[in-house]
Structure 1
């Protein structure tokens, strides 16, 4: 019997009254963690990561039943679920997901560039709160003179990415680790495209979509047309 077969084997005793499931407790817990999201970090939970690898075919089939695709980054040890796009009723995610706002999008894109620049160093990519304020200051509207409101907007963007675990806390209060999951959360085929997306957002002052074909959406943004949503919870 293979490891995958053993994880998919029917449980010998139900876990609750009326239980007709076949997954053992550990696998059910893993499924719940993935459903809750935003992602599973195998670098911080080696046991869960190994369980996922051992039971990947079974888990993938389960998620396919509810129109979710399981994506794995083997190098970064990141796993996350993404809704599949099917033009049929009753296939959308059960819980609608809120798009990133403009500052959140810009910050995420800039952090993705920093993550790429840091790759291969063998250490975590970190950035301070002040550093992220400086990043967003580069995209501040020329006529914006409300420093208090700008600082609050920066902190709100940081808090949102932190809630999505795209930024994670470190031992220092105002220093954050850029999560490797950011590479998967921003579905960009080429890192070289990011500056063009950033320029389009700056020009259009709106949220840019990266969920559709990149070239088409970039053209929409540059032409001032409305776009769809970006990274979602």
Structure 2
């Protein structure tokens, strides 16, 4: 029996009193990780990624039962869950939190461009805290003359993207890796459209904005089924 087969085989000994489940402990742990989100990065956890690929059908079937779709980016080795769209009550097991603020959205869009420019390089896309401050300074509103408050706003935007794991730390202080998951969290079909989105935000233009399908995944997904 292969390792993959052992993960798929029904358990013979319950994992806890009253256990009626069929999945093995590693597979159940993977399900919990996906539910907790915001995503699974196969480049940093190859064994979990391989288990996901081996048991993809079983995992997809399980999440379909609770109105969730398993989304995979095979090139970037990213997996995340997305609520399905169904017009019925009690069909939202994952509740979205607050949407991104202006600076958070601008920073995410600019980082999405950097990620695209870096694709195919064979190395991680990284950026410094100062670099992100400079990016947001390009979009600073004319009425904002408080330097201290602006710097705090920049740091808050960085912290929010960190909380979504769209930015992760590196070995260097104040340097961050742009997560490949950003490409799935912000699934814009035409990268060339991003500058227009940014310009619309800068101009506070309500007539031109990201479609709902492009922005809903940027809101943090908080599992209601699993509590820390």
Whether TM exceeds 0.5 here: the answer is yes
1:127 Cα shift? 0.5
Q: Deviations over 1:157-204 (max 9, x none)?
A: 000101111000011111101011100110211111111111121122
Q: Is the 8 A contact 1:188 1:210 kept in 2?
A: no
1:34 is aligned to 34
1:92 is aligned to 92
1:231 aligns with 2:218: yes
The structure-2 alpha-carbon separation of the partners of 1:140 and 1:146, relative to structure 1 and needing over 3 Å to count, comes to: same
1:211 aligns with 2:212: yes
1:182 aligns with 2:182: yes
Q: Is the 8 A contact 1:97 1:232 kept in 2?
A: yes
1:149 aligns with 2:152: no
**In angstroms, what is the RMSD of aligned CA positions?**
2.0
Could you tell which deviates more after superposition, 4-13 or 133-142?
A: 4-13
1:15 Cα shift? 0.3
Q: Is the 8 A contact 2:197 2:210 kept in 1?
A: no
For 1:4-153, list aligned pairs within 5 A: 6-153=6-153
3-state DSSP of counterpart to 1:91: coil
Return 5+ residue gaps in structure 2 as ranges. Answer: 221-228
3-state DSSP of counterpart to 1:127: strand
Distance in 2, matches of 1:204 and 1:125, equals: 29
Distance in 1, matches of 2:132 and 2:11, equals: 49
Distance in 2, matches of 1:229 and 1:183, equals: 13
Q: Is the 8 A contact 1:67 1:84 kept in 2?
A: yes
Q: Is the 8 A contact 1:103 1:136 kept in 2?
A: yes
State the aligned residue count: 219
